[in-house]
C-alpha cells in the first residue's frame, strides 16, 4: 500500500475523515494490496473450466501431428499430373482416419478426412472434383500442390506458447490442451472470499419481516456475482447485527479463514456504522476511506491480518458499483488473473444528465440499437439512486460519467461495463 490511515480505534467517523481519492486510484490501491494466492493445484481438464492458469503452457506436440487430409478424396503427387488433361490415375489403396501412415507415390490413394497423407503424396483432390472409372480416377483440373492437405505443425508448432499464466480457462483453451494430450492443468487454488452482511435491520428472504426491517438483497447479489467465477469460493458469514462486538467477532473469524473479506453496510458516518472501528480493533488498517464517486463514496479498502478487506456501502446500487469497480479488480488479482480491470464498452449517451464535476458518477443504463457509427445508444435508468434495486435490475450495464464533466448530453461518448461480463 502506498499510504495507510489506521482504522479509527474508538469513534467511528469514517464517512467524515480520510482524504477523498479518485475512483481509479482507489481501485489501483485495492489491486496493489492484493497478492495472488500462492498455492496451486493440478486439475483434470474436465474440471478446470473458468480456473486461472498458474504457469505458462508451451506446446509439446505439433498439431496436426502428421500431414493430414482436409477432405474426402484422393491423395496424389501434384507434379505427377503433367501434360494435357483429363488425367487418369490408378487408385492403388485406401487410407482412413486412424490408419497408420502409408508410403506410396504411384497413381492415387483413396483418402478420407483426417487420414495421414501417404509419404510420397502432397495433394488431395476432393472426390467432387473427380470421377471414378474402373480402378482409376479421372480428373479434369490440374490440382494445386498442397491442396486440401493440413501440414504437420501448421496449427501448433512444438515449443510455441499456448497459454500464459494468469489466463482464465475457456472451453476452447481446454480443447487446445486436450489436443496436446494434456490430461490436467496447473491452476491457482480458489480465492476464499468471506461475505458479511452487516445490519440489524436485515432479514433473509423467506423470513418474516417486522416493522423497520428490510430483506437482505446484497447477500444474494454478491453470492450470485461471485458464484459466476469458478476461481472464487464464498464463505458466507450471514447477517451480523450492528454492534461492535458482533462485527469484530465476525471479522476476526473471517480473517483467519479467508483471502478476502467483503462486508456490506456500516461504513458511513453514523453511530451504528461499526465496520471501520472493528477493522481497527482487529489490528487492521484502511488505505481507502472515501472515494470521489457516486454511488459508493464511503467504500473502505485495507487489510485485516493477511486478508484483503473490502468494506462496501450497504445501499444495493452502491454495493454493486463498488463491487464491480473496486472490489472485483482486487479479487481478480488475488485469483492470479493477469487482466484485472473492468472490461469497458464504448457507447453513446442518448440522454441528458447533470452531474457534479468533482467526482465520477456511475449510472445504470440500458442498451438501445447502435447508431450509424456502430456504437450502441444508451438510455439512463433514473438518477442512479444509491438505494435503487429496480434500476440496477433493469440495467444492461453501468456507465461511467467522468470527473471534470458537469453535463452529459445526447451524443456524448461514454464507456460502460456490461453487467453480463464475468
Do residues 266 and 272 touch, judged by C-beta distance below 8 A? yes
Q: CB of residue 253 vs ligand LQZAQKY5: minimum separation in angstroms? A: 19
Coil/strand/helix, residue 351:
coil
> What is the spatial distance between Cα 67 and Cα 81, in angstroms, rounded to a whole number?
20
Using the rule CB under 6 A, which residue among 69, 165, 264, 281 binds ligand LQZAQKY5? 264
Q: Which is nearer to ligand LQZAQKY5, 15 or 179 (CB)?
A: 15
Residue tagged 480416377 (cell numbers)? 137
Q: Which is nearer to ligand MOO, 95 or 291 (CB)?
A: 291
Which does residue 259 bind out of ligand MOO, ligand LQZAQKY5, none, counting CB within 5 to 8 angstroms by kind?
Answer: none
One character per residue 318-337, x = contact with ligand LQZAQKY5 (rule: CB under 6 A)? x-------------------
Interface contacts to ligand MOO, rule CB under 6 A: 294-298, 313, 315, 318, 386
Task: By CB under 6 A, tell whether 263 contacts ligand LQZAQKY5.
Answer: no
The footprint of ligand LQZAQKY5 on residues 277-316 (CB under 6 A) is 295, 297-298, 313-316
Do residues 15 and 273 touch, judged by C-beta distance below 8 A? yes
Q: CB of residue 296 vs ligand MOO: minimum separation in angstroms? A: 5
Exposed/middle/buried for residue 398 (C-beta within 10 Å: 0-12, 13-18, 19+): buried
Q: Which is nearer to ligand MOO, 216 or 319 (CB)?
A: 319
Number of residues interacting with ligand LQZAQKY5: please give it, by CB under 6 A: 27
283: left (phi over 0), alpha (psi -120 to 50) or beta: left
Using the rule CB under 6 A, which residue among 108, 123, 217, 385 binds ligand LQZAQKY5? 217
> What is the spatial distance between Cα 247 and Cα 263, in angstroms, rounded to a whole number?
10
Tell me the residue nearest to ligand MOO as measured from the CB: 295
Which does residue 216 bind out of ligand LQZAQKY5, ligand MOO, none, counting CB within 5 to 8 angstroms by kind?
Answer: ligand LQZAQKY5
Do residues 260 and 307 touch, judged by C-beta distance below 8 A? yes
Coil/strand/helix, residue 391:
helix
CA distances from 329 to 31, 176, 284 (A): 6, 28, 21
Task: By CB under 6 A, tell whether 397 contacts ligand LQZAQKY5.
Answer: no
Cα 215–Cα 220–Cα 14 angle in degrees, nearest 5: 75
Using the rule CB under 6 A, which residue among 268, 340, 360, 385 binds ligand LQZAQKY5? 268
Q: CB of residue 384 vs ligand MOO: minimum separation in angstroms? A: 9
Q: Among 210, 245, 204, 244, which Cα is nearest to 223's?
A: 204
Q: Which is nearer to ligand MOO, 116 or 403 (CB)?
A: 403
> What is the spatial distance between Cα 25 and Cα 289, in angstroms, rounded to a whole number?
12
Q: Among 312, 296, 315, which Cα is nearest to 262's?
A: 312
> What is the spatial distance between Cα 122 and Cα 111, in angstroms, rounded to a whole number?
12
Using the rule CB under 6 A, which residue among 34, 267, 331, 334 binds ligand LQZAQKY5? 267
Give me the count of residues in the chain: 422
> What is the spatial distance between Cα 89 and Cα 107, in angstroms, rounded to a whole number?
5
The footprint of ligand LQZAQKY5 on residues 175-204 (CB under 6 A) is 197, 199, 201-202
Q: CB of residue 313 vs ligand MOO: minimum separation in angstroms? A: 5
Tell me the residue nearest to ligand LQZAQKY5 as measured from the CB: 314
Q: Among 207, 214, 259, which Cα is nearest to 233's?
A: 259
Residues near ligand LQZAQKY5 (CB under 6 A) are 15, 197, 199, 201-202, 214, 216-219, 264-269, 273, 295, 297-298, 313-316, 318, 386-387
Amino acid at each position: 500500500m502506498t499510504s495507510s490511515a489506521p482504522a479509527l480505534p474508538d469513534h467511528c467517523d469514517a464517512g467524515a475523515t480520510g482524504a477523498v481519492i479518485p475512483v481509479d486510484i482507489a481501485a489501483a490501491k485495492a489491486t496493489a494490496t492484493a497478492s495472488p494466492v500462492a498455492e496451486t493445484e493440478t486439475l483434470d481438464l474436465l474440471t478446470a473450466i473458468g480456473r486461472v492458469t498458474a504457469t505458462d503452457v508451451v506446446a509439446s506436440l505439433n498439431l496436426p501431428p502428421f500431414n493430414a487430409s482436409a477432405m474426402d478424396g484422393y491423395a496424389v503427387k501434384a507434379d505427377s499430373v503433367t501434360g494435357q488433361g483429363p488425367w487418369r490415375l490408378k487408385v492403388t489403396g485406401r487410407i482412413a482416419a486412424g490408419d497408420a501412415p502409408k508410403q506410396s507415390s504411384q497413381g492415387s490413394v483413396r483418402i478420407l478426412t483426417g487420414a495421414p497423407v501417404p509419404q510420397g503424396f502432397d495433394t488431395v483432390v476432393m472426390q467432387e472434383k473427380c470421377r471414378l472409372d474402373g480402378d482409376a480416377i479421372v480428373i479434369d483440373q490440374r490440382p494445386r500442390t498442397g491442396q486440401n492437405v493440413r501440414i504437420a505443425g501448421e496449427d501448433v508448432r512444438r515449443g510455441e506458447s499456448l497459454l500464459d499464466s494468469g489466463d482464465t480457462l475457456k472451453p476452447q483453451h481446454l480443447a487446445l490442451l486436450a489436443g496436446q494430450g494434456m490430461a490436467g492443468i496447473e491452476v491457482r487454488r480458489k480465492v476464499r472470499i468471506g461475505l458479511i452482511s452487516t445490519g440489524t435491520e436485515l432479514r433473509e428472504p423467506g423470513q418474516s419481516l417486522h416493522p423497520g426491517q428490510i430483506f437482505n438483497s446484497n447477500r444474494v447479489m454478491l453470492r450470485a456475482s461471485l458464484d459466476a467465477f469458478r476461481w472464487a469460493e464464498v464463505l458466507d458469514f450471514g447477517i451480523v447485527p450492528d454492534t461492535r462486538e458482533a462485527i469484530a467477532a465476525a471479522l476476526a473469524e473471517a480473517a483467519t479463514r479467508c483471502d478476502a473479506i467483503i462486508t456490506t453496510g456500516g461504513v458511513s458516518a453514523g453511530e451504528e456504522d461499526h465496520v471501520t472501528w472493528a477493522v481497527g480493533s482487529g489490528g487492521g488498517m484502511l488505505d481507502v476511506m472515501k472515494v470521489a464517486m457516486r454511488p459508493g463514496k464511503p467504500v473502505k479498502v485495507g487489510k485485516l491480518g493477511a486478508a484483503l478487506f473490502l468494506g462496501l456501502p450497504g445501499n444495493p446500487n452502491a454495493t454493486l458499483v463498488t463491487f464491480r469497480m473496486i472490489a472485483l479488480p482486487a479479487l481478480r488479482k488475488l485469483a492470479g488473473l493477469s487482466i484485472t480491470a473492468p472490461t469497458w464498452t464504448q457507447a453513446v449517451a442518448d440522454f441528458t444528465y447533470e452531474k457534479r464535476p468533482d467526482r465520477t458518477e456511475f449510472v445504470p443504463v440500458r442498451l438501445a440499437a447502435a447508431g450509424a457509427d456502430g456504437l450502441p445508444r444508451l438510455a439512463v435508468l433514473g438518477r442512479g439512486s444509491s438505494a435503487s434495486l429496480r434500476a440496477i435490475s433493469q440495467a444492461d450495464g453501468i456507465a461511467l460519467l467522468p470527473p471534470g464533466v458537469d453535463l452529459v448530453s445526447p451524443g456524448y461518448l461514454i464507456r460502460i461495463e456490461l453487467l453480463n461480463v464475468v
